[in-house]
Amino acid sequence: MKYAIFSDIHSNYEALIVCLKKMQELKVDAHAFCGDLVGYGPNPEECTRELMKLENLTSVMGNHDVALFNKDFSRWFSEYASKAMVFTAKNITAKSKKFISKFLKEYQGAHFAMVHGSFNDPYRDYLLTPEQFIMNLPKWQGNICFVGHSHVPFIMSYREGHIPQIDVFYGRDVSIKLMPGVRYMINPGSIGQPRDTNPRASFGIFDTEKYTFRLLRLPYDIKAVQTKIEAAKLPQILSDRLPKGV
């Protein structure tokens, strides 16, 4: 089975459309979304509608998705992230909010597990270190776990009795043959707001039969998104950071 693994869309419609088209071309069987559909960007409603169309979609909730329903959660946000959430709440329908409200806190499936941040704290914990990897190991089953939140694509691998290894992809496309008996935590990067100094949208393909993970980076119309951000009077930083990939 071939899964599209993606995360952190953040209301970036132009980036999402490019990635969904590629997923279709690659003939994926199912879609797995690691959270943060909304926040930051100018098109929360349009992005949500696109996810509604997907067949065989499993989604977990990100911190910005949670903030859509719990305003107090925004106290953990930067000022510009909080302003973007106010915009999001005003520009999304009740139907779309209901769809997002059904996202899972975490997912434990036959082929992989999935959580936005970490199992210790799904919405605030950025999983970045070997120590965090070890702390999370008992909390998910199987050998593969997908995470999001940091907007940086990476793979952590662990074989019992060894120190976890970390490989950050830093803007490159890559295909990895996964090894039996090794446990992996994989971040597919961000579709809507990459932060690895590469502005191209990022997502992955997990093939359960070949037991491989492929990371893809795709260009999209950043200027179109910037124009929308500025027209919506969202904070300038949300426009400025897109072409820098930070």
Res 196 pLDDT > 70: yes
Those residues with Cβ within 8 angstroms of residue 240's Cβ, 6 or more apart along the chain or in another chain = none
pTM, two decimal places = 0.97
Selected from 3.40.50.920, 1.10.357.10, 3.60.21.10, 3.40.50.10490, the CATH number assigned to the domain covering 2-244 reads: 3.60.21.10
Residues with Cβ within 8 Å of 119's Cβ and at least 6 positions away in sequence, in order, are 106, 136, 139, 140
**Beta pairing partners, 183:** 158
Amino acid in the structure at residue 191: I
pLDDT digits (tens, 9 = 90+) for 17-53: 999 999 999 999 999 999 999 999 999 999 999 999 9
CA angle 227, 36, 109 (to 5 degrees): 145
Residue 1 or residue 76, greater confidence = 1
Report residue 99: phi and psi, to 5°. Answer: -60, -45
Q: Could you tell me the two tokens for 170?
A: 């830093």
Amino acid at 54: L
Per-domain residue ranges for the chain? 2-244
219-243: per-residue pLDDT in tens? 999 999 999 999 999 999 999 999 9
Report pLDDT digits (tens) over 200-216: 999 999 999 999 999 99
Cβ-contact 97, 65 below 8 angstroms: no
Question: What tokens does 161 get?
Answer: 């009795």
- Please report the DSSP string for 114-144 in residue order: E-SS-SS-TTT----SHHHHHHHGGGS-SSE
Structure confidence by residue, pLDDT tens digits, 114-158: 999 999 999 999 999 999 999 999 999 999 999 999 999 999 999
Q: What is the dihedral of CA 5, 72, 225, 30, to 10 degrees?
A: 20
Question: Considering only CA atoms, which of 211, 204, 229, 168 is closest in space to residue 6?
Answer: 204
